[in-house]
Copies of this chain bind each other. A is one copy, B any other.
Amino acid sequence: MGAEVTTRTGEPVLMKGNEAIAQGAIDAGCRAFFGYPITPQNQIPDYMSLHMPEVGGVFVQAESEVSAINMVYGASAAGARAMTASSSPGIALKQEGISYIAGAELPAVIVNVARGGSGLGNIAPAQSGYFMSVKGGGHGDYRTLVLGPWSVQELYDFMFDAFDLADRYRTPVVLLADAVLGQMMEPMRFDREPVDPAALPPKPWTTTGAKGRKRNIVNSLYIVAEDLEAVSRRIQARLDEAHKEVRWEGHQLEDAEVAFVAYGTAARVCLTAMEIARSQGIRAGLLRPITLYPFPSEAVAELAGRVRALLVVEMSLGQMVEDVRLAVNGRVPVELHGRTGGVVPTPREVYEALAGVQEVAGR
């Protein structure tokens, strides 16, 4: 696969989601990948093990997920664009490490090709990792920026955004995908200019480690409570500033009387369901959050002001719905259609759920 990919003709290429993530990372200047195997994301380390050496990058299969995320910590402290990838249980194991990276004010990219849980669960797609991505699944007040792609093209493109956001706000960034996105093949274009890591802006805070150069220390230890509070507020201020990066996409919201709110794979299902609804005379729309943190609360609130109800569709028992309700703050009913455990809802069932919401709200 690698060779063809490098011929950037601008023509559409058929590519698997996980490979698009990996190539996207390399093109975005990532030169340090640390992973540990878990289905359904194994094509990412496979691809990295093959192609990282070609660009002088480092691929390490670590002893464990805990080890992998701490290697990301180290590589990032040394200035590299560094990442790890895993799936739900593996991401849970990385929570402490992510908190350390956040507390040390370091950039990093963490890819979650989510699968069904809790526990061992299965290897089918799921969105039940929303909470642990968006609320900060580890300890402390940190959050991570979270991107929710819905296509192979976005898997590729968002790797550029993820590394840029990470560097800009010195924060871990989570790319929250799922098994459908990771395993599907779609035509896509390599239409972004590869990043030369050497040409990136300098990071004056990195550990240079060498004689004669300025000595930096990267740490997350602050014995005095007031010091730690100051750092936590500085980190939060950066995250607040990152709210200007909020992204979402509207589909036929102009005349909508009722609207879906969904991200990722669930949003793809909703788009089809929306068309069914329109064909049935229901003026449905779709608001797709792209950044899950920062969440497009203003857009949701604005939309709530002009529809009769919102239907949140999630491949979970209800996680993003809380952020939608917080944004709506009681203005209109916010209903949930949730499937879990690896079940992807069908457009038909989602349409029917919408029709039910519309009927109740329409009275």
- In the complex formed, the residue of B with least CB distance to A99 is B118
- From A11-19, A130-138, A181-189, the one touching the partner chain is A130-138
Mark the stretch among A154-162, A190-198, A223-231, A352-360 that contacts chain B: A223-231
Task: Give, as a whole number of angstroms, the nearest-CB distance from A93 to chain B.
Answer: 5
0/1 interface trace, chain A 53-67, chain B, CB 8 Å (1 if under): 000101011111011
A362 to chain B, nearest CB (A): 21
Query: A227-B341, A331-B330 given as contacts; is B117 within 8 A of A139 (CB)?
Result: yes
Give the complex CA separation of A145 and B163 in angstroms: 37
Is the pair A93, B96 in contact by a Cβ cutoff of 8 Å? yes
Residue A343 contacts which of B74, B96, B122, B225 (CB distance < 8 angstroms)? B225
| A120 and B62 in contact, given A141-B340, A342-B228 (Cβ under 8 angstroms) | no
Q: How close is A50's CB to chain B, nearest CB, in angstroms?
A: 6
A98 CB, nearest partner CB in chain B, Å: 8
Whether the Cβ atoms of B140 and A119 lie closer than 8 Å is yes
A322 within 8 A of B: yes
Asked if A103 lies at the interface with its beta carbon under 8 angstroms from chain B, I say yes
Nearest CB in chain B: distance from A293 CB, A = 12
Structural contact, B93 and A66, CB atoms closer than 8 A: yes
Residue A89 interfacial (CB < 8 Å): yes
Question: Is A341 within 8 A of B226, CB to CB?
Answer: yes
With A102-B119, A119-B99, A225-B124 as contacts: A141 and B317 at CB distance below 8 Å:
yes
Minimum CB–CB distance for A229 against chain B, Å = 3
Copies in the complex: 4
Report Cα–Cα, A99/B235, bound state, in Å: 28
Q: Which residue of B lies closest to A316 (CB)?
A: B141
- Given that A50-B209, A64-B63, A325-B329 are contacting pairs, would A118 and B100 also be in contact in the complex, using a CB cutoff of 8 Å? yes
- Of the residues B70, B118, B138, contact of A102 by C-beta under 8 Å: B118
What 1/0 mask marks residues of chain A from 315 to 344 whose CB sits below 8 Å from any chain B CB?
Answer: 011010010011001110000000111110
A219 at interface, CB cutoff 8 A: yes
User: Does A236 sit within 8 A of B, measured CB to CB?
Assistant: yes
Query: Does A346 make an interface contact (CB < 8 A)?
Result: no
Asked if A132 and B138 make an inter-chain contact with CB atoms under 8 angstroms apart, the answer reads yes
B91 lies within 8 A of A139 (CB): yes
The listed residue (B121, B136, B232) touching A220 by CB distance below 8 A is B121
Docked CA distance A210–B124 (Å): 27
Determine whether the beta carbon of B128 is less than 8 Å from that of A89: no
**CB-defined contacts of A225 to chain B, threshold 8 Å:** 116, 122, 124, 341-343
Some 5 contacts from A to B, beta carbons below 8 A apart, are A62-B67, A63-B67, A93-B93, A100-B119, A227-B341
The 4 closest A-B pairs by CB, nearest first: A103-B119, A119-B220, A117-B140, A118-B140
